[in-house]
Amino acid sequence: MESLNRLYKKYFWYFAFTLPVGILLGIISMHVLQIINDALTAGVENITYSAKQFFATIGVLFALGAVNEFVKIRLVVNASRDIHSRLVDKVLGSSFERVEKVGLPKVNATLSKDVDTAIKFFQVLPQMVANISLIACAIAYMAYLSLTALMYVLALITFAGLSFTLIILLSRKYLQSIRECADSLMEHYEAIVKGKKELSLDSKRQRYVRKDIRSTLELLRKNNRSALTLFGMLEHWGQFILFAILGVILYYLGMTLGLDKTVVVGYILTLLFILEPIEQVTQASTDLMEAKVAFKKIESLELSDDFIDKEQEVKALGLNLNLRLRNITYRYEAEVESEQGFKIGPIDSEFKAGEATFIIGGNGSGKSTLFKMLAGLYGPTSGELQYGDITVEESNIVSYRECISLIAADFWVFKHILIDDSGEDEKLLQQLVSLLKLDKAVEVIEGKWSKTTLSQGQRKRLALIQSYIEQKPIVLLDEWAADQDPVFKKVFYEEIVPSLKAQGKVVIIVSHDDNYYHTADRLMELRDGQLILHKTNKPAASPQNDQFFKVLDGCKE
């Protein structure tokens, strides 16, 4: 409950404010009830309290209520903003490995559902404090009217309280199951949207998917039914208990204890007055229980609690240095306990600045895993990564990642283009756009791509432009050319890669384009987790008739 505690501490003063105000509201309300009670029992002709005093009192009641409401609203809106931005910080601050393990559906469900439920905590707690204060004042007033009658009433209230607690505890397991169902539903929704093509072509698969979703929905229905039944019972049970107390006062206490008319009227008035606050407190208890489940769910993702300093710019470790892997291994956690997770390594190799290494390997040989490790997204299980003389470790991993430009197999193109404000970079950007024939597909408007809903090959070209322009010293391209037509393959292997090398970058490419293997300085294969050198080349240093180099030359002018 780390997040809850932190926010609770931050907003402690808001909560602290609602307690005395609630008590004050309770005392004044009881005072107003006492005036009405006196008038009812003594007759309106004998009222001692003036109308002026009466209206002034309820005016104070209104003003205090308004201030309380004002504080409550500020608390809710501020807490809502904080919980949202805290979660974004948590996702951004967590390691790639953790977020990958949690998975998109769970992150989505938390961001969309848990946050709103968690906010209920801040909505209902001040209200609950105010209502409980009011109920406490009502109890004090009833004690003032008759202590003996209060004993009976309190016994009934204690019984009611215990039954409420039992119902709320029973509801907890249903709420937790409802939350689990929300995660599964998110997974199903992701599958039916992303797998729409496959589903449209296969009615058998559709039936399976529908069956799966229906069973989740059925589980959700059952849990919802149980939770809502308990909550509904709670509300009506509260009302029943209150009327039962009124009945006990009317039919038994008045006669057996010989209570005065003022006491009976006072008790009935007070109990009717706190009917709504009691209902609100029972409703709030269920909301608080839901909010607690949501906070628990947020915690269970085990996302980082380290705050990110958004303004702080991280400096890259260095430029034009060699990348060395020293007996490095990486092993995934096993999904089944009896089995071992996939492992690559130990790998001992050096990738030189100004050289391009092509890596080949069969499906599942670990190419993408190796790239994630080279990029510093996966920490090695053993061995170490050295950039120049610097060993990459916990203390400098963030700076190391700043050296990496990665276009992964499942890459993402952000609309915002990260570019220096210098006119040169803008000119280079425009020239790259036309070189890669994207000028008809997209525009650059105020530093953003006009759209990113392009074909896979075109989006990869956008990603390559971003990668080129961000000037990072290590460039990792996972099968970049696989989706490109022959023209762009040629531009890529014969112009772009040599240009990256000419800038002194470490270039590592997963490639299966054997027509262009001769353009690599080294061709390596990942097989059984081992990186094997196949051959070394001496590719031409600068290509002939190079339109791309002309582009770059043009920029330098």
Ligand X SMILES: Nc1ncnc2c1ncn2[C@@H]1O[C@H](COP(=O)(O)OP(=O)(O)OP(=O)(O)O)[C@@H](O)[C@H]1O
Where on the chain is the footprint of ligand X (CB under 6 A)?
A: 100, 332, 341-342, 361, 363-369, 409
Q: What is the DSSP string of 470-534?
A: TT-SEEEEESGGGGS-HHHHHHIIIIIHHHHHHTT-EEEEE---GGGGGG-SEEEEEETTEEEEE
* Closest by Cα among 291, 323, 452, 341 to 388: 323
DSSP-derived 3-state class of residue 449: strand
Helices 261-273 and 275-300 sit at what angle, rounded to 10 degrees?
30
For ligand X, give the closer residue by CB, 294 or 303: 303
80: exposed, middle or buried (C-beta count within 10 Å: 0-12, 13-18, 19+)?
middle
For ligand X, give the closer residue by CB, 164 or 371: 371
DSSP-derived 3-state class of residue 445: strand
446: exposed, middle or buried (C-beta count within 10 Å: 0-12, 13-18, 19+)?
exposed
* Closest by Cα among 227, 239, 231 to 278: 239
**Residue at token pair 């339109």:** 547
For ligand X, give the closer residue by CB, 203 or 363: 363
Q: How far is the CB of 535 from ligand X (least distance, A)?
A: 20
Q: How far is the CB of 195 from ligand X (least distance, A)?
A: 18
Residue type for position 320:
N
Q: How far is the CB of 527 from ligand X (least distance, A)?
A: 10
Instruction: Give the number of other CB atoms < 10 A from CB of residue 513.
Output: 18
For ligand X, give the closer residue by CB, 101 or 490: 101
Q: How far is the CB of 100 from ligand X (least distance, A)?
A: 6
Q: How far is the CB of 213 from ligand X (least distance, A)?
A: 25
Q: How far is the CB of 512 from ligand X (least distance, A)?
A: 9
Q: How far is the CB of 377 from ligand X (least distance, A)?
A: 11
For ligand X, give the closer residue by CB, 313 or 333: 333
For ligand X, give the closer residue by CB, 367 or 459: 367
**Residue at token pair 């007996």:** 327
Q: Cβ(36)–Cβ(273) under 8 Å?
A: no
Q: Could you give the CA distance from residue 1 to residue 5 in angstroms, rounded to a whole number?
A: 6
For ligand X, give the closer residue by CB, 357 or 369: 369
Strand partners, 522: 357, 536
For ligand X, give the closer residue by CB, 349 or 368: 368
Q: How far is the CB of 483 from ligand X (least distance, A)?
A: 13
For ligand X, give the closer residue by CB, 238 or 366: 366
Q: Cβ(436)–Cβ(487) under 8 Å?
A: no
